[in-house]
Amino acid sequence: MTGVIVLFSTLALNLLCLAFAFDPSPLQDFCVLDAKSPGCKKPETVTAADFFFSGMHLPSNTTNPYKAGLKVAAIPGLNGQGLTLARLDFLPDGIIPPHYHPRAAEILTVLEGSMEVGFVTSFPNYKHYPKVLNKGDVFVVPVGLAHYQRGVGKVNTVVLSAVNSQNAGIVEVAGSMFGAKPAINSDYLATAFRLDKKTVEQLQSKPWA
């Protein structure tokens, strides 16, 4: 499960620096986060560099069991703008496990390669909306719905992902259940997921976070 840790811990750490929005006045043009102290930078100290990020053309790290990686554009000037931008990289058989963002919708644009994306609607229908995307294709995942991405084809895939929140949150479906601390009762999970107790306990023993 180290792939889950690498993927989602990386995203969580990058989002953390964007999560503490501070906007003392709705009349100001922007509130650039101050890395040295809580709150906004003084306007006279803000430069163009505060609205800039370089490196999205470089691949993220895919050396993990899931053969996928992500890179978040950590831009101080995004504070208060309700946006997060990330690059996703997939080897031909790379995946990002099922997860959801409780506070944001996501829009995906394929820059290179091919990817299958799909989301599942809420109870009681659980309708699955899968789609294979190729270069130039765009797909929207509605807010709060479980979804997944996986590379398909024979070449690496590069995807630009944007969410309409600077703190979208990310909940990995399996990890939230089997990696909960303190652990959820294994008899309950065995019944809920229609698994035997031994399988549940093996899943609970894995490093989910």
Q: What would the pLDDT profile of 33-70 be if each residue is shown by its tens digit? A: 888 877 889 889 999 999 999 999 999 999 999 999 99
User: What mean pLDDT is predicted for residues 6-29?
Assistant: 55
At residue 20, does pLDDT exceed 70?
A: no
Is 106 labeled as ligand-binding? yes
Same domain for 191 and 153 = no
Range of lowest pLDDT (8-22, 105-119, 176-190): 8-22
pLDDT of the residue at 83: 93
Same domain for 50 and 133 = yes
pLDDT of the residue at 166: 86
Tens digit of pLDDT for each residue in 67-91?
A: 999 999 989 999 889 999 999 999 9
Same domain for 198 and 98 = no
Is 101 labeled as ligand-binding? yes
Taken in order 42, 103, 2, 160, the sign of the CA dihedral is negative
The DSSP secondary structure of the chain, one letter per residue, reads -HHHHHHHHHHHHHHHTTS----S-TTSS---B-SSSSSBPPGGG--GGGG----TTSPPP--STT-EEEEE---GGGTTS--EEEEEEE-TT-EEEEEE-TT--EEEEEEESEEEEEEEPPTTT--EEEEEEETT-EEEE-TT--EEEEEESSS-EEEEEEES-SS---EEHHHHHHS-SSPPPHHHHHHHHT--HHHHHHHHTS---
* pTM reported for the whole predicted model: 0.85
pLDDT of the residue at 208: 85
Same domain for 162 and 126 = yes
Per the structure block, which two tokens stand in for 124? 């009681």
Same domain for 112 and 84 = yes
Q: How many domains does the chain have?
A: 2
Same domain for 140 and 110 = yes
At residue 18, does pLDDT exceed 50?
A: no
Same domain for 158 and 64 = yes
Read off the CATH number of the domain in which 24 is found. Answer: 2.60.120.10
- Name residues whose C-beta falls within 8 Å of residue 165's C-beta, 6 or more positions apart in sequence: 82, 83, 84, 101, 103, 104
pLDDT of the residue at 80: 86
Same domain for 198 and 117 = no
Q: Residue 80's domain spans which residues?
A: 2-170
User: What mean pLDDT is predicted for residues 18-34?
Assistant: 67
Same domain for 148 and 119 = yes
Same domain for 165 and 183 = no
At residue 10, does pLDDT exceed 90?
A: no
Place of tokens 């963002």: 101
Is 99 labeled as ligand-binding? yes
Same domain for 58 and 150 = yes
Closest CA to 22 of 9, 7, 35, 6: 35
Q: From CA 80, how far away is CA 74, in angstroms rounded? A: 13
Is 201 labeled as ligand-binding? no
pLDDT of the residue at 26: 61
Q: For the chain, give the mean pLDDT.
A: 89
Tens digit of pLDDT for each residue in 170-189?
A: 999 999 999 999 999 999 99
Same domain for 203 and 147 = no
